Amino acid sequence: MNTGDTAWVMVCAALVFIMTPGVAFFYGGMARRKNVLSILTQCFAIICLVSLQWVLFGYSLSFGPDTGYGIIGGLDWIGLKGVGQDPSSVYAGTIPHLVFMIFQAMFAIITPALMVGAFAGRMKFSALVIFTLLWTTFVYDPIAHWVWGSGGWLGGIGALDFAGGIVVHVSSGISALVVAILIGKRIGYEKQSFAPHNLPITFLGGALLWLGWFGFNAGSAIEAGGLAANAFVTTNTAAAAAGIAWALMEWKMDGAPTVLGIVSGVVAGLVAITPACGFVSVLSSMPIGLIAGIICYLAVTKLKPLLGYDDALDVFGVHGIGGIWGTLATGLFAAVAINSGGADGLLLGNTKLFFAQMVYLAVCITYALVVTWVLYKIVDALVGMRVDKQSELIGLDLTQHNESAYTVLE
């Protein structure tokens, strides 16, 4: 047991926690004023629901002893049975097992919360509650087990994902796209303005995300040491490069750099560096961020209108595309010199890692896509996913939660 490591990972768990309220602010500001509370409520509900699910059985499914074939963890650790103050014999030997568990819990929490931006303004709250529990159990938990669980089959093929580029960002980005397509476009899409209602709130959310991401990425070293330092610095560098890249793209294509643009760019960079942060050098994190800013900008401004789906707040464009790029970039830029537990990437002449990353992407994208589609259909049949037309027009704050964010009189 190491007190430094324990303190560091506990602080990091708290930092990752603040990312989910950060996501709520980030999306809430982009939403229309009649829907901002629905976003905030959904994010806090997800924190509460997944916190309980994780302690009761989610952690056991994800990290519990493998049931064979590397597909899913067993129920041995259900209700945290045997998960206590002593270190685990399998994971993170220098910190209490409980600390490792709660650090991982924060990742499980933020992943479904990332998706709410895609179907903002049109999902029933009851549907969201059921969908979240099913999705986290049948999509997040298995993928987390495959990649990070002891005996997980994807960890075995040599794919690298330091802090959850695929497990968190690609899985939520792809699933968000599926839900956005199935639930349909917002009423008036492409006919009326959907301008963000409060960009300072979005800025606050972006700032909380950037702050929390140090815990997300550097904490994933699970030790207070050199590797955490590397992840910390690559994270900051990639975010900075991506923020500038997105703003420059806007400046050239749309005439001015915007606050929404620079904040979106930073988030895209943070997403892209997530799988790579503990495997690449600081200088490599610059092109990773730069390219993330450019391709995510193009995905949001060009690809989305071209394909015509209404991913309201661009979860797929930022997390899906950014995560896919980051996963491939890990296969390009990784270096054993940075992390002896990693591998060399394509640029250092190793094709094996890049190939493993592609397999890793293909498997997780397919799985998230298919299972999310099935879960959507189940919840839709049970309670109906979308609110009725009248409720959507009045707004989810009033019709789902009986509240409104801003009074007009007094």
**Residues at the interface with another protein (CB under 8 A):** 34, 187-188, 191-193, 390, 393-394, 398-399, 402-404, 408-409
**Of 85 and 192, which has the nearer Cβ to another protein?**
192
At its nearest, how many Å lie between another protein and the CB of residue 236? Answer: 41
Amino acid at 164: G
**Of 90 and 398, which has the nearer Cβ to another protein?**
398
Count other Cβ atoms within 10 Å, centred on residue 267.
28
CB 321 within 8 A of CB 365: no
Count other Cβ atoms within 10 Å, centred on residue 255.
8
**Of 85 and 402, which has the nearer Cβ to another protein?**
402
> What distance in Å separates the CA atoms of residue 135 and residue 367, rounded to the nearest whole number?
12
At its nearest, how many Å lie between another protein and the CB of residue 394? Answer: 7
**Of 352 and 401, which has the nearer Cβ to another protein?**
401
> What distance in Å separates the CA atoms of residue 409 and residue 311, rounded to the nearest whole number?
33
CB 215 within 8 A of CB 12: yes
At its nearest, how many Å lie between another protein and the CB of residue 402? Answer: 4
CB 383 within 8 A of CB 130: yes
Greatest CA separation found in the chain? 66
User: CA triplet 374, 379, 381: central angle to 5 degrees?
Assistant: 95
**Of 97 and 186, which has the nearer Cβ to another protein?**
186
Residue from 145, 177, 174, 208 nearest 327 by CA: 174
Residue from 402, 15, 65, 53 nearest 207 by CA: 15
Buried b (16+ CB within 10 A) or exposed e, 201-232: bbbbbbebbbebbbbbbbbbbbbbeebbebbb
At its nearest, how many Å lie between another protein and the CB of residue 191? Answer: 7
Residue found by looking up tokens 């075995």 in the block: 156
**Of 32 and 97, which has the nearer Cβ to another protein?**
32
**Of 187 and 337, which has the nearer Cβ to another protein?**
187
At its nearest, how many Å lie between another protein and the CB of residue 409? Answer: 6
At its nearest, how many Å lie between another protein and the CB of residue 395? Answer: 8
**Of 62 and 400, which has the nearer Cβ to another protein?**
400
Token pair recorded at residue 89 = 């014999």
At its nearest, how many Å lie between another protein and the CB of residue 118? Answer: 21
> What distance in Å separates the CA atoms of residue 174 and residue 324, rounded to the nearest whole number?
10
At its nearest, how many Å lie between another protein and the CB of residue 120? Answer: 15
Residue found by looking up tokens 């700032």 in the block: 207
